[in-house]
Amino acid sequence: MPVAPASLSRLWDGLRPPFRHVAHFERVLGTALEVQILADRREQAGRAETALLTEIDRLELIFSRFLPQSELNRWLGSTGAVPVSPELGMVLRQALTWTQLSAGAFHPATEALSKLWKEAEVSGRLPDVLGVLDQMQGALYSVTEEAGHWAATRLSSLPLGFNAFAKGFIADRAAEAAFLVPGARQVLVNIGGDLRVLGPQPVQVGIADPGTLADNAAPVSLVRVAGQGAATSGRARRGFTVNGQWHSHVLDPRSGQPAAHIISASVVAPDSASADVLATIFSVLDPPASLRLADSLPDVACLLVGEHGQVFRNARWTDLEGSSAPPSSRPPLHTEVSP
């Protein structure tokens, strides 16, 4: 029986090596974007990249704090119950869940503390955080969902921020949009260190050494990530300087003070949003508490670098390191994440 041309085309696509597309963009969500795509053909990789960038642009209009008319900013300036998109509703709800799960080590109102520390840089006096901490104990907002319709109500005047995992959420959705394009086999999205990988083959990820600024420094760890998200948070390169004294930009929402005992927290999780927020949480908790929380969650691996260079990892991270190939035999897609 003759083979249909369409069947021959699919057979050929399955046999020939995939086309590898790599692109880098600056000033995407205020950071750098790296895209890697394996597709059957060049034009399919191009369409996957277009779908990915389109999704990032769409979600930026929802979550950006820098665009005055973003949905998030409009909601932050609202009163009463306001209809919100499913994307914003889900992020708002997840933020409350992570606040509870981390016993306050993550908190959406940490932005209010950051504002006090930025003002302290100007005044030269350490901030008085007690008033804000007291307000942070109250309800911030409520979220409801009924038959696919979401609404959210502001219950506090405190400034709120969701960067701890909104960027990871965007990385997830962007990778999914690209992976849905016919012919796409593998997708890697790296938005400023928030990574999402989709596809059947593992991707090798290097964790940048937080103790050096050298671009050619050897990574502190190599792991293989397959169908998962990864993120790294750290205090090595950003902070507040008050009266000549440097303080980490990572603030403990429970005390209002800079978190000093961890210089880098790296996480591999089922998705980038979870990895993103957990990297923030593990930068605040002490290492034993972080390892316990990581082990209590499904498929979460973590690597922590302490202030004196000591390294902590859970068994799942060790497993990912054990499956990693040496640099000379890296898989087709590979990248590095840094704080």
The pLDDT value given to residue 330: 65
pTM of this structure? 0.90
What's the rounded mean pLDDT across residues 226-243?
Answer: 86
The distance between the two most distant Cα atoms of the chain, rounded to a whole number of Å, is 84
What's the rounded mean pLDDT across residues 116-144?
Answer: 96
User: pLDDT-derived band of residue 17, with 50, 70 and 90 as boundaries?
Assistant: confident
The sign of the CA dihedral 27, 164, 22, 209 is positive
The pLDDT value given to residue 8: 46
320 has a pLDDT exceeding 80: yes
Residues 90 and 75: their CA atoms lie apart, in Å, by 14
Tell me: the pLDDT tens digits for 87-99? Answer: 999 999 999 999 9
The pLDDT value given to residue 324: 65
Residues 271 and 44: their CA atoms lie apart, in Å, by 24
Ordered domains of the chain (ranges, CATH): 18-66+162-337 (3.10.520.10), 71-154 (no CATH)
What's the rounded mean pLDDT across residues 77-85?
Answer: 96
What's the rounded mean pLDDT across residues 166-187?
Answer: 97
What is the CB neighbour count within 10 angstroms for residue 63?
22
User: pLDDT-derived band of residue 236, with 50, 70 and 90 as boundaries?
Assistant: low
Tokens at 25, concatenated? 């963009």
Please report, rounded to a whole number, the percentage of residues in the chain having pLDDT higher than 70: 90
What's the rounded mean pLDDT across residues 209-226?
Answer: 82
What's the rounded mean pLDDT across residues 14-20?
Answer: 78
Q: Which of 16-20, 250-254, 303-307 bottoms out in mean pLDDT, i.e. has the lowest?
A: 16-20
The pLDDT value given to residue 251: 95
299 has a pLDDT exceeding 50: yes
What's the rounded mean pLDDT across residues 279-299?
Answer: 97
234 DSSP β-pair partners = 264
User: pLDDT-derived band of residue 6, with 50, 70 and 90 as boundaries?
Assistant: low
Instruction: State how far Cα 98 lies from the chain centre.
Output: 14
What's the rounded mean pLDDT across residues 45-57?
Answer: 98
Residues 92 and 100: their CA atoms lie apart, in Å, by 13
> Exposed, middle or buried, 275 (CB in 10 Å: 0-12/13-18/19+)?
buried
Please report, rounded to a whole number, the percentage of residues in the chain having pLDDT higher than 90: 78
For 48, phi then psi, to 5°, come to: -65, -40
Selection from 117, 142, 162, 161 nearest residue 259 by Cα: 117
Tokens at 126, concatenated? 């350490």
- The three-state DSSP-derived secondary structure of the chain is CCCCHHHHHHHHHHHCCCEEEEEEEEEECCEEEEEEEEECCHHHHHHHHHHHHHHHHHHHHHHCCCCCCCHHHHHHCCCCEEEECHHHHHHHHHHHHHHHHCCCCCCCCHHHHHHHHHHHHHHCCCCCCHHHHHHHCCCCEEEEEECCEEEEEECCCCCCCCHHHHHHHHHHHHHHHHHCCCCEEEEEEEECCEEEEECCCCEEEEECCCCCCCCCCCCCEEEEECCCEEEEEECCCCEEEECCEEEECCECCCCCCECCCEEEEEEEECCHHHHHHHHHHHHHCCHHHHHHHHHHCCCCEEEEEECCCCEEECHHHHHHHHCCCCHHHCCCCEEEECC
Q: Mean pLDDT, the chain, as a whole number?
A: 91
Q: Which of 29-38, 42-51, 207-216 bottoms out in mean pLDDT, i.e. has the lowest?
A: 207-216
User: pLDDT-derived band of residue 140, with 50, 70 and 90 as boundaries?
Assistant: very high
Residues 182 and 43: their CA atoms lie apart, in Å, by 11
